């Protein structure tokens, strides 16, 4: 009997992309009726863009992985089958309250019903090299940015060429920074209150933070690390070239696998500016959306796959293989029962959960719900690249990016005027 074949277009690459393929292979090995293939589209951005273009051409995959920044665009599109509908129609009884509310709410409509399936959830962490820190007499990670600066200076004096690796990633530099410092990104509760939101990041602590980062770059305390110039931040940290960085907990597994066994390193919550009362960090990562226009059999296959990945054993595999956090309560319980968080190689991953729950969620630390956010991130990345290269002043660069981003928001508002989330 021929298997029913479906595709999941994923946005992860490298080691994490291989991990998704392994999940898909495990599903294929677990039964004989369905076969899923999970080709990468090269980036999170491309996965969303390719899937939307394919949808228009009626060549869409059955499932697409959509990162946080693409969530509202998908929600407002007519392109998907809501998660509950898919599972009900295919005979699965899902306890939707089993998903952690902080994660599920991100992908739910105003009534709390999930549109997509939480899959790879994360938050950002600070990675630090214990061996290098020992050389400057430090045994703990910096808690404030002022400490980061002082430690970086000491590392530099001790002969380390790259105290801290950074890039232009707005998720850490802008979004996580703003949330944990209690600063808004946009009006209307970061967009949750309506499509008429406007960016306000040219009026918040973010401006001073970017000045701080630029000064650190000019002093050689921070170094830009990008794939196109050799190593990205994760590779630069794992190889021991750079002694600090900040990236997703998702990369914890990759660093563990690629760093030399003798290299001692750890993770901590992102630093804050001195005198800040820390708020919770934002949930990152992506969820899986089932697209319209497929056959009954393809939906049966999708439902079977999505049921498979939510099983505690699948969550254990996924969180072990990557650094992503479990998305269900039973998955988390299963990990704890297996002694996961006590194993030395996984130690530190619980800090992502601590960071996500560091405070009561406030309107600015709940998340970001802005249309066209993929484009807005690009505007900001371009601005940061110009600012860090000294082509434009911090204020001018951010102001111009805010102006361009607000134009994106206004176009989006016009397109979806009057449309309600179901």
Q: Which residues contribute to the site for ligand G3P (CB under 6 A)? A: 44, 67-69, 120, 122, 171, 248, 250, 284-285
Pairing, β 265-268 against β 242-248: unpaired
Q: Output the smallest distance, CB 216 to ligand G3P, in A.
A: 23
Q: Output the smallest distance, CB 44 to ligand G3P, in A.
A: 6
Q: Output the smallest distance, CB 377 to ligand G3P, in A.
A: 8
Burial of 274 (0-12, 13-18, 19+ CB in 10 A): exposed
| Residue 413: CB atoms within 10 Å | 15
Pairing, β 242-248 against β 284-291: unpaired
Judged by CB, which is closer to ligand G3P: 122, or 204? 122
Residue nearest to ligand G3P (CB): 284
**Are residues 318 and 65 in contact, defined by beta-carbon separation less than 8 angstroms?**
no
- DSSP H or E run through 287: strand 284-291
Judged by CB, which is closer to ligand G3P: 81, or 114? 114
Judged by CB, which is closer to ligand G3P: 136, or 234? 234
Q: Output the smallest distance, CB 120 to ligand G3P, in A.
A: 6
Q: Output the smallest distance, CB 71 to ligand G3P, in A.
A: 10
Q: How far apart are CA 101 and CA 95, in angstroms?
A: 12
Judged by CB, which is closer to ligand G3P: 69, or 164? 69
**Are residues 49 and 12 in contact, defined by beta-carbon separation less than 8 angstroms?**
no
Judged by CB, which is closer to ligand G3P: 68, or 149? 68
Q: Which residues of 394-407 are buried (b: 16+ CB within 10 A; e: fewer)?
A: beebbbbbbebbbe
Q: How far apart are CA 319 and CA 162, in angstroms?
A: 30
Q: Output the smallest distance, CB 63 to ligand G3P, in A.
A: 17
Judged by CB, which is closer to ligand G3P: 4, or 103? 103
DSSP 8-state class, residue 227: G
Judged by CB, which is closer to ligand G3P: 8, or 250? 250
Q: Output the smallest distance, CB 69 to ligand G3P, in A.
A: 5
Bridge partners (DSSP) listed for residue 325: 121
Judged by CB, which is closer to ligand G3P: 70, or 312? 70
Q: Helices 312-321 & 14-30, crossing angle to 10 degrees?
A: 150
Helix, strand, coil share (%) of the chain residues, nearest 5: 50, 15, 35
Q: How far apart are CA 118 and CA 5, in angstroms?
A: 22
Q: How far apart are CA 232 and CA 246, in angstroms?
A: 12
Q: Output the smallest distance, CB 171 to ligand G3P, in A.
A: 4
């Amino acid at each position: 009997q021929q298997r029913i074949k479906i595709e999941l277009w994923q946005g992860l690459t490298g080691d994490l992309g291989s991990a998704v393929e392994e999940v898909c292979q495990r599903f294929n090995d677990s039964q004989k009726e369905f076969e899923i293939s999970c080709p990468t589209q090269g980036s999170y951005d491309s996965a969303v863009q390719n899937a939307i273009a394919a949808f228009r051409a009626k060549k869409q995959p059955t499932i697409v992985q959509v990162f946080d920044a693409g969530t509202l665009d998908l929600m407002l599109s007519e392109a998907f089958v809501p998660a509950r509908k898919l599972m009900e129609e295919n005979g699965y009884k899902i306890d939707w309250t089993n998903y952690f509310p902080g994660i599920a709410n991100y992908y739910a409509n105003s009534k709390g019903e999930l549109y997509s399936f939480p899959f790879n959830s994360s938050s950002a962490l600070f990675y630090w090299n214990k061996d290098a820190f020992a050389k400057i007499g430090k045994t703990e990670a910096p808690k404030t940015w002022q400490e980061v600066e002082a430690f970086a200076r000491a590392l530099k004096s001790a002969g380390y060429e790259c105290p801290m690796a950074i890039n232009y990633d707005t998720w850490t530099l802008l979004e996580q920074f703003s949330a944990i410092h209690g600063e808004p990104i946009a009006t209307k509760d970061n967009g949750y209150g309506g499509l008429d939101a406007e960016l306000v990041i040219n009026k918040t602590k973010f401006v001073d933070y970017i000045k701080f980062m630029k000064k650190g770059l000019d002093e050689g305390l921070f170094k830009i690390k990008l794939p196109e110039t050799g190593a990205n931040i994760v590779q630069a940290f794992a190889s021991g070239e750079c002694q600090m960085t900040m990236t997703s907990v998702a990369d914890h597994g990759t660093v563990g696998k690629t760093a030399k066994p003798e290299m001692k390193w750890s993770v901590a919550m992102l630093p804050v500016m001195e005198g800040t009362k820390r708020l919770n960090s934002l949930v990152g990562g992506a969820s899986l959306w089932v697209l319209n226009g497929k056959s009954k059999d393809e939906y049966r296959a999708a439902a079977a796959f999505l049921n498979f990945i939510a099983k505690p054993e699948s969550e254990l595999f996924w969180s072990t293989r990557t650094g992503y956090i479990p998305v269900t309560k039973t998955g988390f319980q299963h990990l704890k029962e297996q002694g996961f968080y006590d194993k030395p190689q996984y130690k530190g991953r619980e800090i992502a959960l601590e960071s996500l729950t560091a405070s009561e969620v406030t309107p600015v630390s709940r998340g970001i719900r802005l249309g066209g956010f993929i484009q807005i991130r690009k505007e900001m990345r371009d601005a940061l690249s110009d600012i860090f290269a000294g082509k434009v002043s911090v204020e001018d660069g951010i102001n111009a990016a805010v102006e361009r981003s607000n134009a994106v928001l206004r176009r989006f508002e016009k397109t979806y005027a009057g449309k309600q989330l179901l």
